[in-house]
Amino acid sequence: MNPFKYGTIVRGEYFYDRSEECKRIVSTLSGGNNIVLLAPRRYGKTSLVFRALEELESKGFTCVYFDFMPVYSRESFIEAYTRSILAKQGNWEKAVKKVGALLSGVRLGLSLDPAGTPEFRINFIDAKVNEKTLQEILELPERLASGKKKFIMVFDEFQEIVKLNGENFEGLLRSTIQRQRNVNYLFLGSRTHLLSDMFHNKNRAFYDSAMSMQLDLLPERESVAYLKKRFAESAIKIDNATAGILLNQAGNIPYYIQLLAAEVWQYSIPAPAVVSEKSIIECAGRILDLKSDYYSELFDRHSAAQKKLLKALVSGSEGIYSAGYSSKHRLSAVSTTQKALAGLIESGIVEKTGNQFIIGDPFFRLFIKNYAY
Ligand SMILES: Nc1ncnc2c1ncn2[C@@H]1O[C@H](COP(=O)(O)OP(=O)(O)OP(=O)(O)O)[C@@H](O)[C@H]1O
Ligand SMILES: [Mg+2]
């Protein structure tokens, strides 16, 4: 079994560090405040939140994790949301009865699938979902909670709420949850700039409604220690400097660290020995090869101004709007660069961290470096 895992929520022995962040999430939520967790893509937000939820559950909170990504309409929201709340109520039959009694706009039912497993059904009474039905659904957690049994609701990929007819839904959700006494909310998502706008823009419904928490990269020292330990379990040695090279190639981003380490492990396992810099570079090259079709399509999808800017960003974004930067990278007018940059941020290719603009995927960065000229 490869000791490195990527692309899914990681837990148990696959998860390291983040204990301070976890403590902070647990204490903020159990103290009755809401959180919005902000971090660029693939920093480990969802995994951290799952870790925190385990702890909150053990303290007696009922925790409901809800992902907005698969939601495509108000009906689908209502169905999926009700289902995730019901799933925390234990026995399905009792849950359907209890929760069904609280809802007037929908009817809940159960049927048995061919394997005899109960399947939850929801029927809408009116042809079109009205505000009242939506509100009843949003009030469910508070109605099921009590002073002794508090709820924590987690909304992942929360920026996707705009799919549900934006502001109106946002406003309704905000005003409903504001009144709730026994429920706290944790918001997160992978499109940082959209999420940040929702909570920091005065004109948005969720403005100032949650404590912002910024998640940083995993500390290098912890990552090096983790890599050494996991490789050692398969009799593979890696020294500090070489582990540092691996982190560097992966842009130090948790997902890419695991991706590259998994490839290095695979490469080393037939004859476990010492990991060399050469093997890391070779493995990074293999990952690049595997992804090159996708990357070349992705690159070609952009305008000429964006391509130029992407190429420039490979070597940094210091002074991006200065004349020096522009002439060095043969960019067009500042307004063109600004527009190109806004598009790249919008599509999630470029992340703004502090004053820097970074191509989020280190392998895409490498691809552009080697491919575009
Ligand atoms: N604490 C951690 N320990 C070990 N690996 C981690 C940790 N956090 C994240 N990872 C790695 O990063 C990957 C992505 O993690 P996760 O899905 O939690 O991140 P995310 O920030 O929610 O991503 P996205 O922005 O795509 O939603 C994991 O599959 C794992 O490989
Ligand atoms: Mg996530």
| CATH code: domain of residue 328 | 1.10.10
Q: Using an 8 Å Cβ cutoff, are 309 and 341 in contact?
A: yes
Q: Assess whether 198 and 272 both reside in one domain.
A: no
Q: Assess whether 62 and 84 both reside in one domain.
A: yes
Q: What is the largest CA-CA distance in the chain?
A: 69
| C-alpha–C-alpha distance, residues 259 and 7, integer Å | 8
Cα-to-centroid distance, 176 and ligand 1 (Å): 31
| Ligand number nearest to the C-alpha of 258 | 1
Note the pLDDT of residue 127: 81
Note the pLDDT of residue 371: 86
Q: Is the CB of 223 under 6 A from ligand 1?
A: no
Flag whether 339 is in a domain. Answer: yes
Note the pLDDT of residue 30: 96
Q: Assess whether 50 and 74 both reside in one domain.
A: yes
Cα-to-centroid distance, 164 and ligand 2 (Å): 20
Q: 351: helix, coil or strand?
A: strand
Flag whether 281 is in a domain. Answer: yes
Structural domain count of the chain? 3
Q: Which atom of ligand 1 is nearest to the CA of 258?
A: 31
Instruction: Please name every residue paired with 109 in a beta bridge, in sequence order, or none if there are none.
Output: 121
Domain boundary among the residues 187, 214, 241 is at 214
| Ligand number nearest to the C-alpha of 38 | 1
Probe residue for ligand 1, chosen from 47, 188, 222 as the CB with the greatest number of ligand atoms within 8 Å:
47
The pTM for the full model equals: 0.94
Q: Using an 8 Å Cβ cutoff, are 256 and 361 in contact?
A: yes
| C-alpha–C-alpha distance, residues 89 and 109, integer Å | 15
The Cβ-side half-sphere exposure at 244, using a 13 Å CA radius, reads 4
Flag whether 5 is in a domain. Answer: no
| CA-closest residue to ligand 1 atom 9 | 44
Probe residue for ligand 1, chosen from 156, 229, 255 as the CB with the greatest number of ligand atoms within 8 Å:
255
Q: How do the pLDDT tens digits run along the chain, 373 residues long?
A: 999 999 999 999 999 999 999 999 999 999 999 999 999 999 999 999 999 999 999 999 999 999 999 999 999 999 999 999 999 988 888 999 999 999 999 999 998 888 888 788 999 988 888 889 999 999 999 999 998 999 999 999 999 998 887 778 899 999 999 999 999 999 999 999 999 999 999 999 999 999 999 999 999 999 999 999 999 999 999 999 999 999 999 999 999 999 999 999 999 999 989 999 999 999 999 999 999 999 999 999 999 999 999 999 999 999 999 999 999 999 989 999 999 999 999 999 999 888 899 999 999 999 999 987 7
Domain boundary among the residues 266, 297, 328 is at 297
Domain boundary among the residues 297, 312, 345 is at 297
Cα-to-centroid distance, 255 and ligand 1 (Å): 5
Structural domain of 244: 220-297
Flag whether 7 is in a domain. Answer: no
